[in-house]
Amino acid sequence: MSAAVTAPAGGAPAASRGILLMLLLPGLVALVITFLLPLLWLFRASFASSAVGALSGGDWTSEAYTTVLFDPFYWRVAWNTLVLGFNVAIFAVILSYPIALFLARTQSRFRGVLTALAVAPLLTSSVVRTYGWMVILGDRGVINSTLQALSLTDGVIRLTNNSFGATVALIEILMPYAILAMLSGFGRLNVQLEEAAAMLGANRLKVFTRIVLPLSLPGVLTAALLVFVLAISSFVTPRLMGGGRVFVLGTEVFNEATVTLNWPLAAALSVMLLVLFSSIILLYQRALRALEV
Amino acid sequence: MADHHVIIENLVKTYPGAQKPSVDHVSFSLPRGEMLALLGPSGCGKTTILRMIAGLIVPSSGAIRLDGRDVSSIPVYKRNMGMVFQAYALFPHMTVAENISFGLEMRKVGRAEREERVRKALDLVKLAGFGERKVSQLSGGQQQRAAIARSLVIEPELLLLDEPLSNLDAKLRDEMRDEIRDIQARTGVTAIFVTHDQDEALSMADRLAVMSAGRLEQIGTPREIFDRPQTDFVASFIGAGTFFEGKVAGPGVAAVDGLPPLRFVGEAAVGSPVRLMVRPHRLLLAGEDGQPNSFTGTVEHIVYRGQILTLSVRCGSRLLQADLPTHAGVLPQKGDQVTLTVAPEDVTLIGREAA
Ligand SMILES: Nc1ncnc2c1ncn2[C@@H]1O[C@H](COP(=O)(O)OP(=O)(O)OP(=O)(O)O)[C@@H](O)[C@H]1O
Ligand SMILES: [Mg+2]
C-alpha cells in the first residue's frame, strides 16, 4: 500500500520511455476530460454569481462560500453528513468483518461461490435496494405491520423518513464494498502465523487479539475509508429513506443544483465535500503507515 | 524404549476424502536430547507426522507419548513444543524481540525476566543487537535464527523443525546446519526435524527415520542407514550405488549374471536370491584382473567434480558407477579399459543386518 511506483533502476532507455508515455496517454486523456476538467469547472462555478455566470464564466465572487461558511444550516448539514458517514462506516465494518474474515480463512471449496454471494447485492442498483428497505422499514412496512398485528405496538414506529432509516439502508448497501475492501486488505493474514502463535502458547482468543486483529487492521481501515467516502457522497439513499427530512451534503448539492438552481452554491458544497474527502484520505494514509511500518 | 522421551506408536493419518493414509502405522521413539531426522521424498508424510506431534492436526489413530504420557487430549497451545516452520512464520507486525517474547508473554512471565530471556535467546542464535528490528529487515538466515530463538526461548519439551533450511542458499545452509546442531547440543532439547535433503539428514541427525509413501522404511544412525540399508528404497534413496541381483552360490559368494562371482560378507542361505549394492566410492582402480571382485570394462562416461571423478564403466550389460579421488595418480580417460575392485565387506547385502 505504501510502496510508491518507482522508476526502473538506471532509468528506462529513451525508446521504451516513449512507449510507456504512449501507453499512459489514453488513460491520461480520459482522466483529464472526465475528471480534471469538470473538477476545474466545478471550482470555477463555485465562484460565480449565478448558474448563467457559471456557464459564461463572466464574473468572480465568493458569495457562495460566504453562504456555506456563515449559514449555520450548512454547518449542520456538514455535521449530519459526517455523523452519517461515521455511523455507516463503523457498523458496516463491524458487520462485514466476520464475513470477510471467514471468507479469507475458509478452506472450503465453496469459497469462491460464497465470496460471489457476499458481493452479489452489487448486481442490483442501490435504488432498488433502497426501495427494498422502504418496504421493510416503512410506516406500513413489514416491521411495523408485524408489530401491530401482534398488538405489540399501538402506533407507527418511525423507521424511515429519518436518519435512522438512511443509516440502516446505507450500511447494508455498502457492506459488499466493505467485504471486498477487507478481502483485498487481508493479505498479511496467514494460517501458519496463527499456528505459530498457538504453538507458542496462545489460546484462540489470544491468537485473535494478538495476531489476526492487528494483521487485518489495514484491511479494516481501507474498508472503513471506502464505506465512509461512499456514505458521505451518497445521495439516492439518504434522499429516499430520509423522505426529504435528512439533510446531508449529497442531498443539498442535488437540491441546490436542480430545485433551487443555485449552481454556485451547489458547486461550493461539492468543493466542501471534496475537502472533507481529502482530509479523511490524508488521515487514512497516516494511520496506514503507522500500522504497516 | 519405554523410558524414551518421545514415543510415537502406530500413528495413522488419513485425510478426509483421501483413499490411502498419508501416514501409515508409523512408530518410533527418541531418547531425551536426541536429534532425529525424518527423511523422505516429497509427499511421503513427513510434515503430517510433525503436525500431528505438534497437535495441529488430529491423528486418525495411534498414540503420541511424552515421558510416557499420551498428549492427544492436550490442545496445541498447552503442549509446550517449539516449532520452526519452513517459511519461519515470524509475526510481521512485531519486532524480533517481540516475536521471541510472545511465547513468554503467553506464559505470563514477568517483564524483567522476559527481557532477560529474550536477550539470552538472541545471544544464543547470534542475533544480539537485532531485537528492535522489524522482521522484514532481516535476511533469510537471520529470520530463520529468529524463528529458532522464538521456539527455544519457551524451553520446549520438544523442538520440531519442518525443512528449516530449504529457503536458504547453499552456503548459508551449510552454516545453519552446524549452527542448529550446535544450538540443539547446547540446549539439550529433544528435536525432530524434517528434510528431504539426505546430506542434511546424514550430517545433522543422531538418527534418521527414512520414510516412503507414508510408511517408515528404516530408522538408524546415519552410518547404519548409509552402509546397511535394509530396503531397496533406502538403498536407492540415500546415496548412489550400483545394484546387483543374484543368487547365493556358496557361503559369501553370489552368482550375478554376466559378471564374475561376487564375494560379500553376510549371512544368506545358499540358493536364495539376493540383492547387493556397491557404493561408488567403494570401487577402486585395480592394477590387474584376477583379484576377487574385480570387473573389467570400458569407461563410457566421465564427470569431473573437483575432488572426485565419477566414472561410468560398462561391464557387459551393466554400467558400474565409481567415484575415484582425483589425486590418485594417472586418471582414466573416456574409452580406456579399466579394472575395478571392491572389498567383500564393502558389498552391501540389502535387507539384512550386517554380519
Ligand atoms: N490438508 C491435507 N488434506 C489432504 N491431503 C493432504 C493434506 N496435507 C497433506 N496431504 C497429503 O498427504 C500426503 C503427505 O503430505 P505431507 O505434507 O506430510 O508430505 P511431506 O512429506 O511433508 O512432503 P514435502 O517434502 O513435499 O513437504 C501428500 O500426499 C499430501 O497430498
Ligand atoms: Mg512437508
| SS3 sequence of B171-202 | HHHHHHHHHHHHHHHHHCCEEEEEECCHHHHH
List, as own/partner pairs, every contact residues B299-303 make where C-beta atoms lie below 8 angstroms and the sequence separation is at least 24, other chains included.
Answer: B299/B332, B299/B333, B299/B334, B299/B335, B299/B336, B299/B338, B300/B334, B301/B334, B302/B332, B302/B333, B302/B334
Residue B168 sits in the same domain as residue B251: no
CA–centroid distance, residue B43 to ligand 2 (Å):
7
Cα dihedral across residues B121, B124, B128, B131: positive or negative: negative
* pLDDT value of position B288: 63
Residue from the list B90, B91, B106 with its beta carbon closest to the beta carbon of A201: B106
Query: Beta-strand (E) ranges in chain B?
Result: 6-13, 23-30, 35-39, 61-66, 69-70, 81-84, 158-162, 190-195, 207-212, 215-220, 242-250, 253-256, 262-263, 273-278, 284-285, 294-305, 308-315, 318-325, 337-341, 347-349
**Does the pLDDT at position A5 exceed 50?**
no
**Does the pLDDT at position A3 exceed 60?**
no
pLDDT, one tens digit per residue, over A192-201 is 999 999 999 9
d(CA A194, CA B80): 16
Q: Could you tell me the pLDDT band of residue A8, with boundaries at 50, 70 and 90?
A: very low
Q: What are phi and psi of B308, to 5 degrees?
A: -130, 160
ipTM for this model: 0.80
Q: Which of B200, B229, B258 is the last residue of a domain?
A: B229
B279 lies in which domain range?
240-349
A259 against B168, higher pLDDT: A259
* pLDDT value of position A201: 93
Q: Which of B78, B91, B151 is the best substitution to test chain A (most A C-beta atoms within 10 A)?
A: B91
d(CA B161, CA A100): 32
pLDDT, one tens digit per residue, over A154-203 is 788 888 888 899 999 999 999 999 999 999 888 888 899 999 999 999 99
CATH number (domain holding residue B248): 2.40.50.140
* pLDDT value of position A49: 81
Average pLDDT over every residue of A248-256:
89
Residue A26 sits in the same domain as residue A146: no
Residue A207 sits in the same domain as residue A123: yes
Cell numbers at residue B151, please? 521456539
Residue numbers of chain B with a pLDDT score lower than 70? 1-2, 287-290, 328, 352-355
**Is B34:B206 a contact under the CB 8 Å cutoff?**
yes
In a domain, B235, yes or no: no
d(CA A267, CA A46): 5
**Does the pLDDT at position A97 exceed 90?**
yes
In a domain, B106, yes or no: yes
On chain A, the residues whose CB falls within 8 A of the CB of B54 are 199
A54 against A230, higher pLDDT: A230
Q: Which of A186, A195, A199 is the best substitution to test chain B (most B C-beta atoms within 10 A)?
A: A199
For chain A, the residue count is: 293
Residue A253 sits in the same domain as residue A158: yes
Residue A23 sits in the same domain as residue A144: no
Q: What are phi and psi of B169, to 5 degrees?
A: -80, 165
In a domain, A156, yes or no: yes
d(CA B176, CA A77): 65
Residue from the list A192, A193, A200 with its beta carbon closest to the beta carbon of B103: A200
A27 lies in which domain range?
1-46
**Does the pLDDT at position A4 exceed 70?**
no
On chain A, the residues whose CB falls within 8 A of the CB of B154 are 200-201
In a domain, B334, yes or no: yes
Cross-chain residue pair A195–B85, CB shorter than 8 Å: yes
d(CA A177, CA B194): 43
Chain B positions with Cβ closer than 8 Å to A: 54, 56, 75-83, 85, 87, 89-93, 102-103, 106-107, 134, 150-151, 154
Distance from the A107 Cα atom to the nearest Cα atom in chain B, whole angstroms: 13
pLDDT, one tens digit per residue, over A21-38 is 889 999 999 999 999 999
Q: Which of B184, B203, B229 is the last residue of a domain?
A: B229
Residue A20 sits in the same domain as residue A70: no
In a domain, A11, yes or no: yes
* pLDDT value of position B352: 57
* pLDDT value of position A92: 96
Spell out which residues line ligand 1, taking CB within 6 angstroms.
B 15, 18, 22, 40, 42-48, 196
**Is B75:A204 a contact under the CB 8 Å cutoff?**
no
Q: Which of B187, B206, B229 is the last residue of a domain?
A: B229
Mean model confidence pLDDT for chain A: 87
In a domain, B355, yes or no: no
Residue A159 sits in the same domain as residue A25: no
* pLDDT value of position B101: 95
* pLDDT value of position B221: 93
* pLDDT value of position B290: 63
Distance from the A3 Cα atom to the nearest Cα atom in chain B, whole angstroms: 14
**Is B28:B35 a contact under the CB 8 Å cutoff?**
no
* pLDDT value of position A7: 44
* pLDDT value of position B328: 67
**Is B193:B164 a contact under the CB 8 Å cutoff?**
yes
Cross-chain residue pair A202–B81, CB shorter than 8 Å: no
CA–centroid distance, residue B184 to ligand 1 (Å):
27
Q: Give B220's strand partners.
A: B208
**Is A167:A231 a contact under the CB 8 Å cutoff?**
no
CA–centroid distance, residue A229 to ligand 1 (Å):
46
* pLDDT value of position B114: 93
Give the three-class secondary structure for A138.
coil
Cross-chain residue pair A200–B106, CB shorter than 8 Å: yes
Please tell me the total count of domains within chain B.
2
Percent of chain A with pLDDT over 70: 92
Average pLDDT over every residue of A144-149:
87
* pLDDT value of position A63: 87
Residue B269 sits in the same domain as residue B203: no
What residues flank ion ligand 2 with Cβ within 5 A?
B 47
Residue from the list A195, A200, A203 with its beta carbon closest to the beta carbon of B102: A200
* pLDDT value of position B1: 65
What residue type is assigned to position B7 of the chain? I
pLDDT, one tens digit per residue, over B328-343 is 677 788 888 888 888 8
DSSP B119-160: HHHHHHTT-TT-TTSBGGGS-HHHHHHHHHHHHHTT--SEEE
CATH number (domain holding residue A256): 1.10.3720.10
